[in-house]
Amino acid sequence: MHHGQVPSYESAAGEFVTIALVTKTQGRNGEVAAALFTHFPERFSERRRLFALNQASNRLRRELELENHWFHKGGVVLKFVGFDSISEAESLIGCEIQIPLAERAALPDDSVFVSDLVGCTVTDSGREIGRIKDVSFGAGEAPLLVVEGEKEYLIPFAAAYIERIRTSDKRLEMRLPEGMLELDAPLTQEEKEQQKG
């Protein structure tokens, strides 16, 4: 997301929930590439009716019909009925692709909707790091949790690092690789010396 777009999760509390964010056009026939916000991408095959929420134009929401989809580089490519050219597809860039809340897939215990994470306290091996302020979606990578603690941390929301999610207690227990939280810290004098070596 190079346009500084930060998905908003207000809609998750209302009657819609966001399942993808359109990031760019794909191909020549009106397809768009989208980052996935859902733990159930396979459900796209059952969905025909989707909604596009345009944050830029007064949160306009329009109904779309899904014609085709396929998964690509960690995201999804979507083809909607009536979008048959690059210029038509461009109108969808930055839109959140949504479904009515009532159609949300039932959650098994080990998964979570990202909108439920904002406000959770994050711990790393039992040590409290801070609270999740926002969730940022890159292209094809795990979503990044924006955690406010001693400073602002960006932590990948990746299954490998998650020990337990307790949304009822607003807690996310993680076990992060050593040094991950220090990645963007300035190098100490000792580390600078090591790097020279």
- What pLDDT does 16 receive? 81
What would the two tokens of residue 54 be? Answer: 């345009």
Which sign, positive or negative, has the C-alpha torsion 44, 86, 18, 115? Answer: positive
pLDDT at 2: 38
Mean pLDDT over all residues of the chain?
A: 78
pLDDT reading at 185 higher than 60: no
pLDDT higher at 154 or 133? 133
Q: What is the pLDDT of residue 38?
A: 73
pTM higher than 0.85, yes or no?
A: no
Q: For position 6, what pLDDT does the model report? A: 39
Q: Which domains does the chain have, with CATH numbers?
A: 10-103 (2.40.30.60), 114-180 (2.30.30.240)
- Dump pLDDT digits (tens) for 93-104: 989 898 887 777
* pLDDT tens-digit series, residues 20-57: 889 899 999 999 998 877 767 778 888 899 999 887 66
Q: CB-based burial of residue 169 (10 Å sphere; 0-12 exposed, 13-18 middle, 19+ buried)?
A: exposed
Q: Which residues pair with 60 in a beta bridge?
A: 54
The C-alpha R_g of the chain, in whole angstroms, comes to 19
Residues 6+ apart with CB under 8 A from 79: 29, 30, 31, 32, 66, 67, 68, 69
Lowest mean pLDDT of 46-50, 66-70, 160-164, name the range. 160-164
d(CA 127, CA 182): 15
